[in-house]
A and B are shown apart, each in its own frame.
Chain A
Amino acid sequence: MGAEQKFLVCWCACVCVCAQKRLWEGTEVGTNLADGASDNKVDHVHDTMQATDAPPSPPAKDQTQRFAFDERIWEATNVEINLVEDAPPIRDKEADEADHVLDTMQTQDFPPPSTAKDQFQEELVIKPLHSGDIYASFQFRTQWDTDFLEKHKFSHYRLFPKSLGQVISKFSVRELHISFTQGYWRTMQWGQPFLPSPPGAELWVWFQDTVTDVDLAWKELTNVLSGIFCASLNFIDSTNTVQPSASFKPLGVGNVTDQRFLRYAVLPREIVCTENLTPWKKLLPCGSKAGLAVLMKSEKLFHSSFHSQALHIRPVCKDWQCKSTSWELRQTLNVVFDLHTSGQGKREWSLFKMFSRTLTEACPLASSSKVYVDITDNPQGELFELSPATPLVSQAVVLGDGRTYSVYDLTDHATFGQTHSLNVLLRWRAAESGEMLRPLLHGERYVAGYGLQTGEIHTLVYNNHPYRAFPVLLLDTVPWYLRLYIHTLTVTSKGRDNKPSYIHYQPSKDRLQPHLLEMLIQLPPNSVTEVTVQFERALLKWTEYTPDPNHGFYVGSSVISALVPSVVAMDTNNTQERPLFSSFFPCKEESTYFMRIYTEPLLVNLPTPDFSMPYNVICLTCTVVAVGYGSLYNLLTRTFQVEEPSQGLAKRLANIIRRLRGVPLLT
């Protein structure tokens, strides 16, 4: 337990630093990055400010002057700069910590809190990937100003979907995170996703501490969600539910971290398709009628290499003082279109090519509606050209890496130009793409061994940081029918034994609960850490097999959660862009960030009985038992006697006649 506390302390410290960073950044003056812009202002402001801080509209001539980079201005954009959902646990801690920090450090610069009741924001981030594929990430955020502690307030709904509001109030849910993913995110080719999710369905829920029977609430909740999302979440039962002790901390405000109120389950086998997307879209205030959601046509979305839709509900601070809380519903949809199947091998992407639609309007209910295009590798337009050009640029630190985005504001009519539609087009000039920074943390998993008796699960965790070691939390959930032998657990880094500083192991119970293995491992710099554990495959009852038993059984992804040293801190060029006085100490405020990655799910074959045999087996086995019974019964009840030869038939007949006649019988 000591190790866990240490980890948490470390976490909190980092979070503190992050919170402070934000305040400092408010006063930081960005240097001149773009060619001619003189009025640069890098202003990081909190998301609550954005309603009062509308950006000026770009000149109309931008529509015609596509390459008007000279006129690009650095604008005070109202981006959620940190894209905080990428670093969720930090954020929740941050909320707590920020609370303290803000009490003392609040300045007059902050505007008074907005009084709007419900808010809706939507955004789309398009990121060209180094492999030539393209990554589109939608985020929809609905904020509902209601006090979640008082049940009677769950009665009036405006933007927040009623079906979810009722679920929250009925089951006393504090946080709910659900994701449906088809395909596997290829970290080594694509870098880190904004919001990681494992293949299949993932659900984790924090209940209020007023819930007495958490298991019952969880069971009912999964069944209700199963209905809402048309998914097989009703297959979540005690055999695939675990209570991780450290890996999944609440992301919203609040300080309940008792794992008794947490339930986590993964269904790696879940197939995600249109029937899951439709109910998900219906939860949006505009549905798929207007705004960014018009792009979500399932025939295109599911013709992709990776598709992930998620939904996160959590309590967040309503204002800076965090005196009261409100509900935040965040719906995200991430999709990666393949260069060859979707793009016909040409490195030329447009909204129309990706989604078969263009944008014509923002959702009227949205307070902000934006499209971001990642142009970090393309600051001068030398790699690809982006049209229509936009004067708005924003900078953000995403997953520890400074990124630059072109921004299209859909609430501004000028964005749509004369054609009244926006079709963002990226056309590559060069065949090659820029260098991709290797992801600092990366995980892989596979099953070793042959035959159907035993096997070994290998998990490889890569630390690609050249000089920093950092700890990771590894969470493994293995179904009961693969019997893990924890004494065979080995953790090796660089050929040396690397003893985990914290192990939480919950062994499985047959047909009741899965194995849960959580470990805190220190990853040495520039190393591969290999975690192996042996297992034995169980023979199940014939009714326990899936309809396609020889396809194999899925084992959910390992979850690797880590505080990763920032790439920004690693960047030597960074010193040139900053005032010298600010860059002496190498460990800067953004020195670590939270990251969660998922490994591949496993597909494991089990030995199978012959499914056509039940009657035969019952008959044959019972026959053997009967042979045993019969022979013993025979010997127990009978006695030995001398066999007397039986008389012949003729003799017996003759004796009957002789008896009738009164003559002595024959012997």
Chain B
Amino acid sequence: KFSHLKSYFESTDSPEHFLQNTKYNAGDADVFLSTKMAAPLTLLFIVAITIRAVLFRSSLADLITERVEVVSPLNAWKRVVEGLALLDLGVSPYAGDVFHETPLMIYFFHFVIDYAEIVFMVSAVCIVFLLQFRKQKYALEGDRYPLDCLELIRTPREMLYIPLKVAMFYLLNPFTILSCVAKSTCGLNNAVIALFILSTIKGSALMSAIFLALATYQSIYPLTLFAPALLYLLQRLYIPVNWRRPSFWLFTTQYVFMYLGSLAVMVCLSFFLLNSWDFLTSVYGFILSVPDLTPNIGLFWYFFAEMFEHFRLFFICVFQINVFFYTIPLSIKLKEHPVFLIFMQIAIISIFKSYPTVGDIALYMAFLPAWNHLYRFLRNIFLVSVVLLACSALFPVLWHLWIYAGSANSNFYYAITLLFNVAQILLVSDYFYAYLRREHHLTHGLYLKRKDGSEATLVLK
């Protein structure tokens, strides 16, 4: 039943095409997972959980909890505890400017506060499980490409190792480990997004809409994932993206209603939990207007610390629009590849959001092994990896020099955040380039020739 995923994209003109591409059947993925991959995956989980458990118990945990790269004002565990303490004192958590979690989150933590470490470890493992299915079921390819492109198409054997690689990439990623040990609620937001991706891939429009609404409710930005989810679900139902088709409009309206309905339910529920609308300004106002300039790995803090007051509003608008700005052009360009579109959107969110942490980066990095067939088209992956690694190492060093030693100033740390973001941008655009190029080769053949018969080089024009 998952066999027609990729074969669909010309179907806007000829819906009958997708019938011819049925190669793999649905059971494959689960079979692989349950038999050959079970042992290494179990081992991986044990290793990952051991690392986290050891770190939780070590003295490093306190140090990690304070790191500005790992926790932001939006998701710091210290602030969650503070919110609960305020609630115990009979003060609204939103009366002050310390707590910025959503009301549902308070009530969630109100019950699990004692098991917080377990919750965060479980959520990390869950994310991997959720991403597993996605990878398994996604990369099924048709065989309608030119013959010389066969080496571009992934064999089932390659596909077999993707879940393990994704799991390793997520669970053993130092960013994820740090984020989990710091009990950053970013891990839970990631879990919600992973649930959303899973339910979308599974084709459950309702669940997809609910989890998307939940992710949006948590931190606005996942709003941009609406477009890829809709495209994917349309594709799964073989509904062409065609303005004149009533079926397109019918489904879109349905999905929009499900999404907005569940969002409204969540917001109203939050209102009834605390009986005030204070959380709107305290959560969403805080995300959008960036009042807290605590340093982080993003672009906002130093920019708005140094901004001239009368340009402030203008630049806040410019920077915030940046996240949502790419949604429509990317959706048009990638309308046949909604899963890659999800990856692009998550990456753009984590680069341009107002309070990014390494946990956000870890989420989109978990996708990278799924695009391992793009490696041959990446142009500067080595440089980018080295820069990312060097920056990650330099963050704590320059922070120490600025804040503790006093021998450096804020510019040093700022310079590293700039470089880190440039590297991320290059990484994402490189993958985008590689993806487009592979698509081009899949239709036009791998070894292109000029008119005169010599070997051609591809350029963007």
Contacts and interface: CB of A to CB of B under 8 A. Distances in A.
Contacts of B81: 485, 487
A536 B291 CA distance: 15
Interface stretch (B177-185, B265-273, B298-306): B298-306
Given A538-B293, A636-B330, A631 B429 contact: yes
A635 B458 contact: no
A507 B418 CA distance: 34
B411 A624 contact: no
B98 interface: yes
Contact of A539 (B91, B299, B301, B460): B301
Contacts of A453: 66, 68, 403-404
Interface residues of B, number: 65
A36 B409 CA distance: 76
Given A450-B404, A508-B96, A610-B410, A624 B460 contact: no
A505 interface: yes
Interface residues of A, number: 54
B66 A631 contact: no
A364 interface: no
Given A451-B403, A487-B84, A635-B436, A542 B305 contact: yes
Interface string A630-667: 01101110111111110000000000000000000000
A635 B460 contact: yes
A639 B440 CA distance: 9
Interface in A535-583: 536, 538-543
Interface in B303-318: 303-309
A352 to B, nearest CB: 50
Name the residue in A487, A538, A627 with the highest tally of chain B Cβ atoms < 10 Å from its Cβ: A487
Interface in A169-214: none
Given A485-B82, A625-B319, A451 B404 contact: yes
Given A452-B403, A641-B458, A627 B425 contact: yes
A511 B426 CA distance: 37
Contacts of A628: 322, 351-352, 421, 425, 429
B10 interface: no
Interface in B275-305: 291-295, 299, 301-305
Interface in A11-68: none
B305 A541 contact: yes
Contact of B421 (A508, A511, A610, A624): A624
Contacts of B291: 510-511
Contacts of B294: 536, 538-539
A640 B460 CA distance: 5
A631 B425 contact: yes
Given A539-B293, A607-B403, A644 B306 contact: no
Contacts of B461: 638-641
A666 to B, nearest CB: 14
Nearest to A628: B425
A480 interface: yes
B329 interface: yes
B293 A541 contact: yes
Contacts of A642: 448-450, 456-459
A483 B302 CA distance: 19
Interface string B318-356: 010010001001100100000000000000000110000
Given A454-B66, A487-B82, A610-B410, A620 B418 contact: yes
Nearest to A487: B85
Nearest to B440: A640
Contacts of B436: 635, 640
A540 B421 contact: no
B86 A486 contact: yes
Interface in B178-235: none
A497 to B, nearest CB: 16
Contacts of A632: 326, 329-330, 429, 432
A621 B432 contact: no
Nearest to A611: B306
B458 A613 contact: no
A617 B306 CA distance: 7
A613 B411 contact: yes
A626 B295 CA distance: 21
A509 interface: yes
A645 B456 CA distance: 9
B28 interface: no
Contacts of B414: 617
A539 B98 contact: no
B402 interface: yes
A485 B304 contact: no
Nearest to B448: A642
A624 B322 CA distance: 12
Interface of B: 66, 68, 78, 81-82, 84-86, 89, 91, 95-98, 291-295, 299, 301-309, 319, 322, 326, 329-330, 333, 351-352, 402-404, 409-411, 414, 418, 421-422, 425-426, 429, 432-433, 436-437, 440, 448-451, 456-461
User: 5 shortest A-B CB distances, which residue pairs?
Assistant: A507-B96, A487-B85, A631-B429, A638-B460, A451-B404
Given A453-B68, A541-B309, A641-B461, 6 more contacts: A485-B82, A506-B95, A625-B352, A628-B351, A632-B429, A641-B458
13 contacts: A454-B66, A487-B84, A543-B309, A610-B306, A624-B422, A627-B422, A632-B330, A636-B330, A640-B436, A642-B448, A642-B456, A643-B450, A644-B451
